[in-house]
Amino acid sequence: MMAKILSGKIVSARVKDELKKEVEELSQRGKQTGLAVVLVGDDSASKVYVRNKEKACEEVGIYSEVHRLSANTSEEELLKLINELNENDKIDGILVQLPLPKHLDDKVIIDNIKPEKDVDAFHPSNVGKIMIGDYDFLPCTPAGIMELIHESGVEVDGKTCVVIGRSNIVGKPMSMLLLHENGTVTTCHSHTKNLAEVTKSADILVAAVGIPKFVKADMVKPGAVVIDVGMDRDENGKLCGDVDFNEVEPVAGAITPVPGGVGPMTIAMLMRNTVTASKKKLGK
């Protein structure tokens, strides 16, 4: 019996339909919802992501503006723009597309975004709120993953959960969100011993390691929910994930494809965070 395919395209479309209604309601109350995206440099993947975000804003009815800056933009110039967006009433959410050129410090830039406009949830204030479970925004990729896990029909409560990867963007917040829903969580990384033994204990396995087809069938518990965060290229240059889909699908109970799994959910959750910021500004 093959695994249930958890389609991020289908779930994200449903989320965006719900958000479109909320944006219309806010508009009727005189509140336009606005998102500003800042893109520095010419990273090809970042350009694709930004275009997808623009398209999602159009679908949901969110006003959007993209600030495209040259790769040699100085920190002073970028901080000046962020300060202007912080004070701009038309803008509810600010997203600085990562990675930034190497001469710019991600931390300095993110720390200067107002927490209430930090729709990526990367500001230390928002990260701390996630830790204690009293948050306004959730990081977009982990939040999207939680939606897909719920879609699988599996309750997190009491389940053994394993996250491969400990990045600040995915791995760490992912572990916290699973913990908030009473999962028993293990976070694995490059120093983890007997990794396959650990992953094979998982009822819910999240792979966010950045290595093509890293997770094989012998690392997966039969019937597990397998979430693939990877956006990699295989030996033939074809897009693939961190999970060897063809190997793992017959073993898993549910699995996300790449593409069309976690990616669309990340953008849908960015839209949700922007709408949340808009509602908070209105006092709703």
Q: Using CA atoms, how far apart are residues 85 and 184, in angstroms rounded to an integer?
A: 40
State yes or no: is 53 an active-site residue. Answer: yes
Q: Which residues contact 164 (CB under 8 A, 6 or more apart)?
A: 171, 188, 189, 195, 199, 205, 206, 207, 208, 209, 214, 215, 242
Helix, strand, or coil here: 216? coil
Tell me how many degrees the CA angle 138-141-146 measures, rounded to the nearest 5: 75
| Options 92, 117, 118, 120, the catalytic residue | 120
Q: Using CA atoms, how far apart are residues 191 and 283, in angstroms rounded to an integer?
A: 46
Kind of pairing between the strands at 232-233 and 239-240: antiparallel
| Options 92, 97, 117, 213, the catalytic residue | 97
State yes or no: is 120 an active-site residue. Answer: yes
Q: Using CA atoms, how far apart are residues 126 and 78, in angstroms rounded to an integer?
A: 21
258 within 8 A of 211, measured Cβ to Cβ: no
Q: What is the DSSP annotation of 242-253?
A: SB-HHHHTTT-S
Instruction: Give Dmax (Cα) for the chain.
Output: 57
Q: Which residues contact 178 (CB under 8 A, 6 or more apart)?
A: 146, 156, 161, 163, 185, 204, 206
Q: Provide the Cα torsion 278, 283, 122, 89; round to 10°.
A: 50
State yes or no: is 97 an active-site residue. Answer: yes
Structure tokens at 140: 């977009």
| Options 16, 53, 221, 279, the catalytic residue | 53
Residues assigned a catalytic role: 53, 97, 120
